[in-house]
Structure 1
């Protein structure tokens, strides 16, 4: 662990960040909805489908890390909404039935199982489909294979023993521990998701291979500095979440304070800010060198490793719900952007970063509480 980095000493800032993010998600989740006649192919609704999965994950992880009555109630509201939008699991069933090699039905279902939702027909189908060579031979990124294995484990389905995860882990970018200065925007997102799946979203930090823990301990502070300076808040939030997935998190105060400053009064968090001193807003292709690849296509990669590529405000999704019917947008007068902006498009733009911030801050607050308790119990 670094001896010079200033740590977050009090969990108060982190609790406030998680609370604000969850408040915004709860007040605005109605802006993420699928049409009643949505096809399991999701040809024009992949962004909404992905957002529902991310909100369900954020609700489950945040309420688990900070299990207050308020958090549990908000999480249940969000999870209920997402489960209804997925037809109480029927959409996942139909999607898996028609696309035998796709892994996203089990990846999404696992989050709901952890929160107490079940669909017996889907579970029977998953057990059968996952035995097929067509499913097992599907060509996936190595970190996506870890995602599937962890989802199978969480859903109570047959899965590779964690001791067998070494091979796919070794084939990931992170498992190879490459030259740290060669990292680009896409590599960074692949890295974060490798950690999430190996560490089970912060539940099992010791499941990370020792050489990976050492590599992250040395280089994660450097990468956080770079992307924090570039004000790429989505990636900063993801990397801060990585920090709380290792056995001894750094909880770097400077980066947490910067992300807190980027969070708006409403609780939402913008995916990126302006480059210091330039007035230029980084786009989806931004990375420290300015030459990184564009964000992975959410329709091509399912749930895995995609940052907040700017959504098309008109291309897909339902019409914006009536704010009067679905609750307030937020207490910040600018919570939905300029007057006349599309609140559905606004929600899409901020949802991913706000979800990641909620999870990272909740896990970090839990870690800060634990560290403080350990110090209090230590002999003088």
Structure 2
């Protein structure tokens, strides 16, 4: 492969990532919290979930870009917006009062905490609950248990369990027959990798046998999702490909990103499912916000890993767990 061919995929990836994050910035009001955020029967999936996903992606983009990079600057602005939406952490205290044993507030808060945006009273209150037997024995899906353990660690709370033991109960750790891969298992495996690696920060946290399994089967799974125009899952799988130890597979990344570019709207939005040719109007916010965020997330990871590989592993180090940049 020539030197020019090697950098061409990265240029395309950057354009997709910039367009996606620009769309997110232009539609930030869609992530704003409203009165349903604290309502007794409010829908978490349309309030806290989008805001938490926005915060997490912005943290990741900041980690994998330089301070002067426009992507870094835009992600920092969006992260500040998201933090303001929580009352600079004060709303987490109210959630703690309303739902003391719910885990989603901590999972959302952990993204902010990992960027140095913290609320001491909330952490103290949650740490108290996290020491109870009720918290320890809450029944959860295995990948969700990994999420809670990682969120505890990121928030300065002693994890109530062991990540390695929690991993053993997941679909991915069982190295299942590859033909059993389907949409639910696909989303499960991507999040297992995200929680293990703290969203791509520590690729070596993926056990060798799991990493080998994924290197072998990610290409056909990704190809299947691309063929079926499952863009949201495609982006998550691309993020997984850039979260594994060792250099990324350039051919896989280049081809997949080239095919993904056909799905991105002129505005920068990426639909969860379906191609541009099947739409006559711009996708609605709830139909594309997550896949557009995942495009920006996967792009930042991919670009950083390609830079590192080009520098022989001596590229700019990814961000640490210190205060906000």
Structure 1 length normalisation: TM-score?
A: 0.75
CA distance in structure 1 between the partners assigned to 2:159 and 2:134 by the alignment:
16
Q: How does 1:111-260 map to 2 (within 5 A)?
A: 111-159=111-159, 164-248=162-246, 249-251=248-250, 252=252, 253-260=254-261
Aligned to 1:261: 262
Q: Over aligned residues, Cα RMSD in angstroms?
A: 2.4
CA distance in structure 2 between the partners assigned to 1:103 and 1:37 by the alignment:
18
Aligned to 1:354: 292
In 2 relative to 1, CA 80–254 (structure 1 residues): closer, same or farther, beyond 3 Å? same
Aligned to 2:106: 106
Q: Deviations over 1:187-210 (max 9, x none)?
A: 111110001001111111111111
Q: Deviations over 1:160-213 (max 9, x none)?
A: 58xx32211010000111111011111111110001001111111111111101
Report the alpha carbon displacement of residue 224 of structure 1 after superposing the two structures with TM.
Answer: 0.5
Q: Deviations over 1:231-281 (max 9, x none)?
A: 110110111111011013224121111112211222111111159xxx889
Q: How does 1:289-308 map to 2 (within 5 A)?
A: none
Aligned length: 307
CA distance in structure 1 between the partners assigned to 2:96 and 2:13 by the alignment:
38
Q: Deviations over 1:263-318 (max 9, x none)?
A: 1222111111159xxx889xxxxxxxxxxxxxxxxxxxxxxxxxxxxxxxxxxxxx
- Does the 8 Å contact 2:9/2:258 carry over to 1? no
Q: How does 1:276-287 map to 2 (within 5 A)?
A: none
Report the alpha carbon displacement of residue 214 of structure 1 after superposing the two structures with TM.
Answer: 1.0
The yes-or-no answer on 1:20 pairing with 2:19 is: yes
Where structure 1 has 5 or more consecutive residues not aligned to the other structure, the ranges are: 1-5, 282-333, 339-344
Structure 2 length normalisation: TM-score?
A: 0.87
Determine which structure has the larger helix proportion and give its number.
2
Structure with the bigger RCO (C-alpha within 8 Å, sep 6+) is 1
Q: How does 1:312-327 map to 2 (within 5 A)?
A: none
CA distance in structure 1 between the partners assigned to 2:313 and 2:87 by the alignment:
47
